[in-house]
Amino acid sequence: MHARAAAYFRELQDRICAALEAADGGGRFREDTWDRPGGGGGRSRVLENGAVVEKGGVNFSEVYGELTPEFAKQLPGDGLTFTAAGVSLVIHPRSPLIPTVHANFRYLTHGSKAWFGGGADLTPYYPFREDVVHFHRVWKRVCDAHAGVADHARMKRDCDEYFHLKHRGEARGVGGIFFDYHDATEATFAFVRAAGDAFVESYLPVVERRKGLAYTPEQRVFQEYRRGRYVEFNLVYDRGTVFGLKTDGRTESILMSLPPVVRYVYDYRPEPGSPEAELTDYWLKPRDWAAEGA
């Protein structure tokens, strides 16, 4: 299953990159292939300064080797040997009216244990209800079609709980789905393929609807401020970042998820009743978006 999963993730990277380049209309992904000293490697693709994408990365990796005894205790399975294959992406658009998006799908083994994990989530700055509802409905449809292994209500709840900045007491975005440690059965693999295939449908219509809209310098400033939350989550909590750094992955590829321009403002407080205040007061509160009217 490792070989089949790796082949699928590699092909998925190709399809997603092609779709994003078409949506951007000008930018092209730069590809770097790399080898991991302990075994395996990957290919990182980064698009910078595009017409729509300010910075985006779509990475494929297939690595293997030994874990440290300390880190091995934190994972299911036994012994020290591991393998991992997956595709991971983060897209930071230039416009504050287009949400940042993250997705990853992965297959891992640790000794006698093998599992799949992954998901996708949306981080808007000036949300449009139509976009948020669309994103969630795509993932609900995928989960419902694989109900034997994919419980949408649970995966949505797990996403809301995982992408939560505990030290801020707030969500990173409006969620999506998240799953981990799902036994590597054929049914689970079928769900993972369906989810990977659905990413373009979940996000590109949002990009197309918003990429022609004008925005103000003030909205751009707010986007840069909120990007700081993205940085905090990825450096403090993100499992993929932790796994990559603890297994001697390629640092540039691991940290490609960070936005290109970020603004930290001391004790920032948005004007009450403003769209900026509405983001945290309304949009970042977990709710059943798939059941909402667009």
Answer yes or no: are the C-beta atoms of 178 and 192 closer than 8 Å.
no
| Whole-angstrom distance, CA of residue 69 vs CA of residue 75 | 10
User: Can you give the pLDDT at residue 249?
Assistant: 80
Residue 192, number of CB atoms within 10 A of its CB:
27
Q: Which CATH number fits domain 2-291: 3.40.1500.10, 3.90.1300.10, 1.10.1740.10, 3.10.450.40?
A: 3.40.1500.10
User: Can you give the pLDDT at residue 294?
Assistant: 56
Beta pairing class for 164-165 and 53-66: unpaired
| Whole-angstrom distance, CA of residue 45 vs CA of residue 89 | 9
Mean pLDDT, contiguous 10-residue spans, the chain (294 residues): 97 98 96 93 96 97 92 91 96 98 97 96 98 98 97 98 95 97 97 98 98 98 97 91 84 89 95 97 96 76
Provide the whole-model pTM.
Answer: 0.94
Answer yes or no: are the C-beta atoms of 221 and 263 closer than 8 Å.
yes
Residue bearing tokens 């321009």: 261
CA atoms within 13 A on the CB side of 174: 28
Give just the sign of the alpha carbon dihedral 182, 118, 130, 146. Answer: negative
Of the candidates 74, 79, 45, the one whose C-alpha atom is nearest the C-alpha of residue 61 is 45
CA atoms within 13 A on the CB side of 280: 16
Of the candidates 25, 29, 53, the one whose C-alpha atom is nearest the C-alpha of residue 43 is 29
Q: SS3 of 52, please?
A: coil
Burial string for 78-104 (b: 16+ CB within 10 Å, else e) reads eeeebbbbbbbbbbbbbbbbbbbbbbb
| Whole-angstrom distance, CA of residue 231 vs CA of residue 264 | 11
Contacts of 223 (CB under 8 A, 6+ apart): 96, 125
First to last CA, the chain: 39
Q: What residue spans define the domains of the chain?
A: 2-291
Digit-coded pLDDT (tens) for 222-233: 999 999 999 999
Digit-coded pLDDT (tens) for 187-203: 999 999 999 999 999 99
Of the candidates 94, 112, 22, 106, the one whose C-alpha atom is nearest the C-alpha of residue 53 is 94
Catalytic residues: 102
Q: Which two tokens stand for residue 112?
A: 């006698």
